[in-house]
Amino acid sequence: MEDYIDMWVKASRENIQKLFQYYKSLDSDMPLQSPLEKKLNAIDMDVLNLFELEPTIAIKKVIMYLDAPNSTITSTVNRLEAKGIITRTIHPQDKRTYNLQLTESGQEIITLRKVRKEQFLEALFQVLEDKDKQTLYQLLGKMTEEILKNQPGLARRFNMNKLEQEYHSFGSWLVEINNEEDIPIQFIDFKQTILDAEYSFKVPRKIERRKAHPGMRLYDAVVSLLPDKISLQQIRNKTVEVDDILFDEINYLVHINELLDSQIIIVTKKQEYVIEYNSVSSDISNGFISKIRDKILTSTPVLNLDAFVEVKTIDSELYKNLISNEINDSPVKIIEYQPFIQLSKTNPSPAEKLFNTHNKYELQDTVFLANTKELIVVNRKEAVKKIDKADYGYSRTYLDLTKIQGFRLEDAPEMSHLKMLLLQMDGIEVSFEVGDTFTVDALNQLLTMIK
């Protein structure tokens, strides 16, 4: 048996060697070759190959991609420039470095080399059936992955194309992860968790698109929804840290929407987990929240909504639209409503009294909804604000009815006509601002009717 394995390994090694020799002869003997290319060495070609990714590239990025000493890259660039293959200009954003570009001769080298590569691969694959191609793809992927684990410099060069693709598709929105190519390189060690998850998405950094470039870190977090938990993988201090949030430990969810600064907040008894994103990604964020709610709520209704007389007097078109969206998921009723009211500070400063600004505050409106399993509180991002200040954000808080233990009102001494509604659940209290005429009768009735 061992002799057979030795023969198989030897034969495989010989075949691989033949492929290498075939590639070298194909590369040197074919007519599709620029005369200048014959005078180039391996490091020269490594630099030129980068131009398949970017038409213009900074020298400092060449150093990063090739993981080579500055002196080596500098001498290579000098040599290629002297041969008329590349030109360099001062970088428009960083006067300390240069941008490199191909000349017409350099572009010819890259174009012909790319054609030869394609012809080489076509010659290899034309002898394989489809199922053999698939098997080969899997085996090559497995071998390549193992090689890259042990050679960081090679891994950096190997990932150049992926970094370029990631850069071109980057934007300030959440992106669903469907395959390995979608996973940011910084999170590739967690690919099994990410790909095995029911649902995964990546969270971009808060940077302007024009300031991004290939090779820089573009994503700060990956979120994965697993059968029993949420895996939150975040970069902190240049390393990836993982928080596992078990579904049975989640107390409630908050979903805050604002034009450029939205948040998903997952609250447990011990900690709050915040995922920040751009509201352009509402499809992914809404879908994620909906999936979590399905996981943490009971499978059967706990409340008969027909027993409630619904509150009808709601003025806000925004809230009406939000309520209609909730109705699409399940039947809901408006249990209570806190309208806008004017507020004033109880202990204003002398300056506030002088300029009469102490009474120019308002409590924004809040709607308390219930479906057959949840209490849903819809309010503004800033419950209390100055009258002349704009607030385009809104928030939805999702609370499991079976976890709510009671409600109580407490004075808010800093403002007249303001109280705090405190919702008690599992050793914590969730607070909402309400007016001094607000009562908890309807909310208490809600609790008495839970099955």
> What one-character-per-residue DSSP string does 267-325 give?
EESS-EEEEEE-GGGHHHHHHHHHHHHHHHS-SS----GGGSPPP-----HHHHHHHHH
Whether residues 324 and 232 share a domain: the answer is no
Whether residues 255 and 301 share a domain: the answer is no
Q: Is residue 277 part of a domain?
A: no
Q: Which CATH number do you get for residue 54?
A: 1.10.10.10
Per-residue model confidence (pLDDT) at position 27: 52
Per the structure, the count of domains in the chain is: 3
For the chain, 451 residues long, the average pLDDT of each consecutive 10-residue run is: 61 75 60 68 85 78 77 90 90 72 87 76 75 75 70 57 68 88 89 95 86 80 97 92 96 91 93 89 89 91 81 74 73 90 85 69 93 93 90 92 95 92 93 96 89 66
Whether residues 303 and 245 share a domain: the answer is no
Whole-angstrom distance, CA of residue 320 vs CA of residue 30 = 70
Strands 374-380 and 366-370: antiparallel
Q: Is residue 361 part of a domain?
A: yes
Q: Among 107, 127, 147, give the residue marking a domain's end.
A: 127
Whether residues 301 and 441 share a domain: the answer is yes
Whether residues 367 and 437 share a domain: the answer is yes
Q: How far is CA 384 from CA 318, 336, 421, in A?
A: 18, 19, 14
Whether residues 265 and 301 share a domain: the answer is no
Residue pLDDT, tens place only, 50-83: 887 677 888 877 877 777 788 888 899 999 999 9
Q: What is the pTM of this model?
A: 0.66
Residue pLDDT, tens place only, 171-224: 788 999 998 888 998 898 899 999 999 999 999 998 877 777 767 788 999 999
Other CB atoms within 10 Å distance of the CB of residue 69:
10
Q: Among 225, 255, 271, give the residue marking a domain's end.
A: 271
Q: Among 271, 306, 328, give the residue marking a domain's end.
A: 271
Whole-angstrom distance, CA of residue 316 vs CA of residue 334 = 13
Whether residues 331 and 441 share a domain: the answer is yes
Q: The domain containing residue 85 runs over which residues?
A: 20-127
